[in-house]
C-alpha cells in the first residue's frame, strides 16, 4: 500500500522538482525567451521573430516585469525589470545577458 501512495504522490508531483541545470549561453537564453513569448502571445514559438521589438508584440510594463521575474528565476540571478525596455528584442536581450554572464565570471 505504501508503494501505491509513493507512486501516486510522485505522479501528482507534490514534491517540488529541481530543474536540470541549463548552460546559460546566448542560444539557451534566446530559446527560453522565444518559448516564453510564444506562451504569452498564445502562438507557436516558431512564429516569434527574435529581431522584433517587445513593444511591437504589445508587451506592456506589467507583462515585462513578469517576464523579467521569470527570466530571473531561469537564470538564477537578480535582473532589472527594465531590461526588456533597455534591450528591445529577444536578440538584443539574449546577447546582452550572455555577454554579462561571461564578463561577470572572469
Whether pTM exceeds 0.85? no
Considering just the CA atoms, what is the radius of gyration of the chain in Å? 17
Cα–Cα distance for residue pair 77/54, rounded to 1 Å: 22
Q: How far is CA 14 from CA 5, 45, 93, in A?
A: 12, 29, 34
Q: How far is CA 97 from CA 15, 32, 68, 83, 86, in A?
A: 31, 12, 12, 9, 12
**Residue entry with cell 501505491:** 4
CATH 1.10.1200.10 is the classification of domain 23-104 = yes
The per-residue pLDDT for range 3-46, each reduced to its tens digit, is: 555 554 454 444 344 454 668 899 999 999 999 999 999 999 99
Cell of 60: 506592456
The per-residue pLDDT for range 31-84, each reduced to its tens digit, is: 999 999 999 999 999 999 999 999 999 888 888 889 999 999 999 888 988 898
Structural domain boundaries in the chain: 23-104
Amino acid at each position: 500500500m505504501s508503494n501505491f501512495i509513493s507512486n501516486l504522490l510522485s505522479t501528482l508531483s507534490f514534491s517540488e522538482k529541481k530543474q536540470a541545470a541549463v548552460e546559460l549561453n546566448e542560444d539557451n537564453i534566446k530559446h527560453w525567451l522565444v518559448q516564453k513569448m510564444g506562451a504569452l502571445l498564445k502562438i507557436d514559438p516558431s512564429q516569434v521573430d527574435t529581431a522584433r521589438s517587445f513593444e511591437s508584440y504589445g508587451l506592456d510594463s506589467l507583462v515585462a516585469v513578469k517576464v523579467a521575474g521569470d527570466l530571473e528565476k531561469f537564470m538564477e540571478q537578480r535582473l532589472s525589470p527594465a531590461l526588456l525596455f533597455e534591450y528591445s528584442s529577444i536578440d538584443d536581450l539574449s546577447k546582452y545577458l550572455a555577454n554579462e554572464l561571461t564578463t561577470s565570471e572572469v
